Structure 1
Amino acid sequence: MGERPAPSYQHKPPSLRPPHQHLHRSREDSPLNNQEIYCNTDAAWISTSRTAGLAWIFSDRNQMELDRGSKVQTTVTSPCMGEALAIREALLHAASQNYSTFCIRSDSQVLVQAISSLRHTTELYGVLSDIDAISFSASSPFDCCCLFFTPRANNGLVDRLAKACLSSHIALG
């Protein structure tokens, strides 16, 4: 098995970030520092009501859960939009918890590629622009963050949380 390239991280310089820095995919098995926090995100979506359950779970490098959150969002146009909204909510939550170094893991390979390559479709343009602004604007609270794809099999706990959030909303509705 050959060596893999080093992970790609974007660090915030002491002053302003250059324009157009973006989240980049990184290998899941990349070496991370002791302060690295992982955040798995997911969404569950119901097409008939255009409602999504968004969920995120923060854990440390030893897979010890640190924090979690979920939210119901209405007028969600697609499963991919739900996934993007979950990432945006996770970033906002990370900022509120003063997490400065973390990696977001999503099981939406299409979304991870869209964010990493700056291919902002019309449908996702606003949410992906928000993700970019939260992550890499001059006023971003993050010193380092990355985004990468994780297989659905590795995202089961946050998937169940998103579905539970959506189910409880429907039960109350």
Structure 2
Amino acid sequence: MMIMPRELWLDTKALRAALEWEQAQPTIFPTIQRGKHLSPPTAPQPNTILCNTDGAWKAESRQAGTGWIFTTPTGAITRDGKAHHNVSSALMAEALAVRDALMHASALGFTSIWLRSDAQALTKAILSNQGPTELHGILSDIASISSSFDFCVFSSVSRVLNGPADQIAKAHLVLANVSAAH
């Protein structure tokens, strides 16, 4: 029998419990309903809102900003964003941006939406219903919220074409850092 200090024993026990919890988490997430299209359509359906999303993250402060832009078929544009605290990664910031945009779209009464993100890893996680454990809750939220739309597709967009959403996300990252300082 090995004798170890109580602190080391508690640390080991906590580490084992965390590892056990991680291994017990499902790797498959709820199916996301994407309307009639499993892949992005070449042209949006009538009345489909185009939505570009982006997330900005600062590792040192664990702060994030999210940004999204809705463009209606008539060309009307709505921009918004949000500041977040205690965000663990850039990928989580990107996922929060998609979730925030979906929540806003739902609140505005949109029923048909095409979400575009420059985070290919996130788009892949959403479309495959699989992703890192850290995103499990957010991906589940995305699946749940997106299922309330009549039509919802997800696709990747070039960073070059996502500049305006990026600027909104960066502005909200600054707001997150300012609010954390007060």
The answer to whether the Cα contact below 8 Å between 1:42 and 1:158 also exists between their aligned partners in 2 is yes
Q: Which residue of 2 aligns with 1:170?
A: 177
Partner of 1:35: 47
Give the distance between the partners of 1:134 and 1:53, measured in 2 at CA: 20
Q: CA deviation at 1:77?
A: 0.4
Which amino acid letter does the alignment assign opposite residue 44 of structure 1? A
SS at match of 1:123: helix
Aligned partners of 2:80, 2:129: CA distance in 1, in Å? 27
Rg comparison, structure with higher value: 2
**Residue 127 (structure 2) pairs with residue 113 (structure 1):** no
Contact kept? 1:56, 1:68, Cα under 8 Å: yes
Aligned counterpart, 2:150: 143
Q: State the match for 1:157 in structure 2.
A: 164
5 Å-filtered alignment, 1:51-130, equals 51-61=63-73, 64-130=75-141
Tell me the residue number matched to 2:6: none
How many corresponding residue pairs? 148
% same residue: 40
Structure 1 contact 39–59 (Cα < 8 Å) conserved: yes
* CA deviation profile, 1:117-139 (whole Å, cap 9, x unmatched): 11132111110011001112xxx
Q: CA deviation at 1:65?
A: 4.0
Q: What is the aligned-residue RMSD (CA, Å)? A: 1.7
Task: Give the match for residue 40 of structure 2.
Answer: 26
Could you tell me which runs of 5 or more consecutive residues in structure 1 were left unpaired when the two chains were aligned: 1-18
- Stretches of structure 2 that go unaligned for 5 or more consecutive residues are 1-29
Q: Counterpart in 1 of 2:21?
A: none
Does the C-alpha gap of structure 1 residues 20 and 170 become closer, same or farther in structure 2, counting only changes over 3 Å?
Answer: closer
- The answer on whether the counterparts of 1:80 and 1:108 sit within 8 Å (CA) in structure 2 is yes
Say if 1:109 and 1:74 are closer, same or farther in 2 by CA, change over 3 A. Answer: same
Decide whether the 8 Å contact of 1:26 with 1:146 is kept in 2.
yes
Q: TM-score, normalised by structure 2?
A: 0.76
Q: After TM superposition, what 4+ stretches of structure 1 lie above 2 angstroms from structure 2?
A: 19-25, 168-173
**Could you say if the C-alpha distance between residues 35 and 123 of structure 1 is closer, same or farther in structure 2, counting changes exceeding 3 Å?**
same
Q: CA deviation at 1:165?
A: 1.5
- Output the amino acid matched with 1:128: L
